[in-house]
Amino acid sequence: MVKLVLLLTFGFRKRFEKVGRWLKESYWSSLFLNLPVESERYITAYVERKIDQREFWNYFTLLTGFAEPFINSLKLRFQPILESLKDISLSEREIHCYSDLNSYIEEKKIQEKILLLQFRLRTTSRLNLKEWKDTLIEEIEVSEDSWQRAAHRILSETEEMSQNIILCGGHLNSIKSHLRKPNNKIEFILLDEYWKSPLDILRTIIWKHGRENIDEKKIELYLKLQKRYLNLVLTSKDIDEAHETWTNMAKAS
């Protein structure tokens, strides 16, 4: 029996710090990160203290070609994970990356398009529903294709009677379907409650219902809520606190 534990990584720095603490306190055989396979040896070098933080992220920038804002966003989430791994003995553990480089870059290009759409929405209030719908559908299709390859890579690296931790976000039913095999046991762990942003809720709705079955009025509603969310988050000095403020507002409404 191969045990696959999907450790859900939603949110920002504070939640990733909690994930890092969980990794230090828990038993696992292999850890799978949503980063390009080509970055594995540099992650190992970093956690073994052979290179420093600047060298690691410089390499990652050269590998992916990402602009500084994307690198900073990744740092916000992954640096707490990398720091926690430095304090863990890896003598009987392995760290893997499961993303295909081309797919990883393609996914980030689509996320960049979504960022530009959000910028336009916030600054001009222009809302092209067809462009939004097409872009979110494209994101789902690329993610599906990427997860199919990632699942094959993950399953090829696991062994019988092993405890494997997979850090992931996204649509869970889709991820689970790609990893499901007769001899696999799949579990989900969410370390604490997480209230999605309006855009993430919209992603989930489109994922479940598809292009043709989603009401455009509903898309418009969630995008207008996303504009309010962005106004709160982007004017705050602490993105985690801003998200918690939004969560409390959403629960109270």
Let me know if residue 253 belongs to a domain.
no
Let me know if residue 252 belongs to a domain.
no
Let me know if residue 249 belongs to a domain.
no
Whether the per-residue pLDDT at 28 is higher than 90: the answer is yes
Percentage of the chain surpassing pLDDT 70? 98
Let me know if residue 92 belongs to a domain.
yes
Contacts with 227 (C-beta within 8 Å, 6 or more apart), sequence order: 121, 122, 125
52, 53, 57, 59 alpha-carbon torsion, rounded to 10°: 0
Whether the per-residue pLDDT at 33 is higher than 70: the answer is yes
Identify the CA nearest to 70 among candidates 38, 99, 110, 33. Answer: 110
Whether the per-residue pLDDT at 21 is higher than 70: the answer is yes
Q: In this structure, are strands 2-8 and 94-99 parallel, antiparallel, or unpaired?
A: unpaired
Q: What is the pTM of this model?
A: 0.90
Whether the per-residue pLDDT at 173 is higher than 80: the answer is no
Between 39 and 211, residue with greater pLDDT: 39
Whether the per-residue pLDDT at 39 is higher than 90: the answer is yes
The pLDDT, as a whole number, for residue 215 is 83
Instruction: Tell me how many domains the chain contains.
Output: 1
Mean pLDDT of the chain: 90
Whether the per-residue pLDDT at 171 is higher than 80: the answer is no
Let me know if residue 192 belongs to a domain.
yes
Contact of 179 with 186, CB cutoff 8 Å: yes
Sheet with 94-99: list strands edge to edge. 94-99, 30-36, 163-168, 2-8, 184-189
Let me know if residue 16 belongs to a domain.
yes
Let me know if residue 211 belongs to a domain.
yes
Let me know if residue 251 belongs to a domain.
no
- Tell me which residue range forms the domain holding 14: 2-244
Residue type, position 211, single letter: R
pLDDT confidence band for 228 (50 / 70 / 90): very high
Q: What are phi and psi of 51, to 5 degrees?
A: -135, 160
Whether the per-residue pLDDT at 150 is higher than 80: the answer is yes
Identify the CA nearest to 221 among candidates 205, 241, 240. Answer: 205
| Distance separating alpha carbons of residues 169 and 175, to the nearest angstrom | 9
